[in-house]
Amino acid sequence: MPVAIRKAYASDVDDLAAIEEAAFRGDRISRRSFRALIERETAAALIALDGARKAGYAIVLFRKGSGVARLYSIAVAPGFGGKGVGRALLDAAEKAAFDHDRMMLRLEVRQDNARAIAIYEKAGYHRIGQEPGYYEDGATALRYEKALRGDAPVSTPVPFYPQTCDFTCGPCCLMMAMGRFDPTFVPDPVLEIRLWRQATTVFMMSGPGGCEPFGLAVTAHESGLSAEIYVSFYGALFLQSVRSAEKRRVMELAQVDFRRRAEHYGIPVKYRAFGLDDIREALAGGRLVLVLVSGFLMFGKKVPHWVLAISDDGDHILIHDPWVEEDRGETTLDAANIPVPYGIFMDMAQFGKDGLRAAIILGKRERQ
C-alpha cells in the first residue's frame, strides 16, 4: 500500500519523538518543540502512515513576508527505509510550501549524508552553499534549494532563452517576446549583445551597464514589437549608487535620448506604478510583460533584474527568468515558466529604496 501523509496532531508527539530518537544521534527536536511546531501557524507538521504504523515525518517552516519555505526536518522511522517514505514526505512538504504561496523550498543536509543528498538532487534540488560547524558535532551542512511549480506545466508557447552575460537579462526577455510573436525568429548571442548595446544606458568607465525601461521599449519598437511603458518615477533611473559625476552625466544623457525617441515613436508612457490588474489585463489580451524586479528573491542579490511575465493562472503570474545559475546545477527547467504567487510577484516587482516599479507591455506591432 502507498504511504499516506496527513497533518500531525498533538496525539502524535510521542511517535514523532520516537522517530526522532531513532533517526538522529544529535540535534534532536524535543517533545516540547514538536508540540509547539504542530500548533504553530507558520509551520506544517506532516506524518507518514503505513497502515496504522507511523513511518516518518516532515516539518516545513513558513517565514512571514517571504517567498521561501524551509524544510526544517525530515526523518524516516526504522524499518521503513527504501520504501519511498522519504520521497513521499518530500513531495508532501513541497506541496505544503506551494499551497502556502512559497515559490522556493530550501533545506540543510549533513555533508556526510550521501543517501539524503542523492535523494534531494534526484528530486531537483540544487546546492546553493554550505555552513561549516552547523551541527552539534561540528559537521558541515550543505544548503539546497528547489523552485516549486505545483501543477504548472513546463511547456509554453513562449520560447525560453537564457542570458549568456550577467547584464543582458532585458535583451534576452526581448528575444523571448520576439520569438513568441514571430515563429521564424531565431535568437543567438550576437543579437543578444546587439540588443543590449541598443538598450543600455552606459557601457564605459566601470564596465557593462544594465538597461532601463525606455531603452528597452525603444529597442522593442525598433525590433518590430509594440511597446507600452509603466514607470513610477519621472526622470533618470538607477543613479542612486552612481558616485562618478561623469558616469551620471552619461547615463542621464542616454536616458534623455531614450525618452525623446520613445516620444518620437509614439510609445505610450504611464508615469505611475503598475498594479496587478494591469499585468493580468495585458496577459489576458495575449501580450507579454517585461517586468523590473529585485534579484534578491530570484537569486539572493539586491540588483535590478528583468523577467518576462508570460501568463496568468488565476493565482500566479508565470514568468521566464533569463538568469540560469549553471554553477549551482540549474537548467532551463528551473528558470522557465515559474509560477509566482500574486502577492510575492508584487513584492519582488520593485527595486531600490524608493520602490521603483517599471514594466513594458509587449505585443505584435501591426505593420504600417
CATH 3.40.630.30 residue window(s) in the chain:
4-147
The lowest-confidence range among 66-75, 250-259, 291-300, 306-315 is 291-300
The lowest-confidence range among 115-124, 208-217, 283-292 is 208-217
State pLDDT tens for residues 22-33.
Answer: 988 888 899 999
234 φ/ψ angles, rounded to the nearest 5 degrees = -95, 130
SS3 239: coil
Assigned CATH topology for domain 169-364: Cathepsin B; Chain A (3.90.70)
The single residue listed with the C-alpha cell 505545483 is 150
CB 156 within 8 A of CB 311: yes
Portion of the chain with pLDDT greater than 90, in percent? 58
pLDDT at 163: 94
Burial of 302 (0-12, 13-18, 19+ CB in 10 A): exposed
> What one-character-per-residue DSSP string does 253-290 give?
HHHHHHHHHHHHHT--EE-S---HHHHHHHHHTT-EEE
Angstrom distance (rounded) from CA 304 to CA 15? 48
Domain 4-147: assigned CATH number: 3.40.630.30
State pLDDT tens for residues 114-145.
Answer: 989 999 999 989 888 888 998 888 999 999 98
Burial of 347 (0-12, 13-18, 19+ CB in 10 A): middle
Do the strands 104-110 and 68-76 form a parallel or antiparallel pair, or are they unpaired? parallel
CATH 3.90.70.10 residue window(s) in the chain:
169-364
pLDDT interval class at 204 (50, 70, 90) = very low
pLDDT at 205: 45
Task: Using the Cα atoms of residue 337, residue 341, residue 344 and residue 347 in order, give the sign of their dihedral.
Answer: positive
Across 152-159, average pLDDT = 77
State pLDDT tens for residues 5-62.
Answer: 999 999 999 999 999 999 888 888 999 999 999 999 889 999 999 888 899 999 999 8
Q: Is the pLDDT of residue 196 over 80?
A: yes
pLDDT at 171: 96
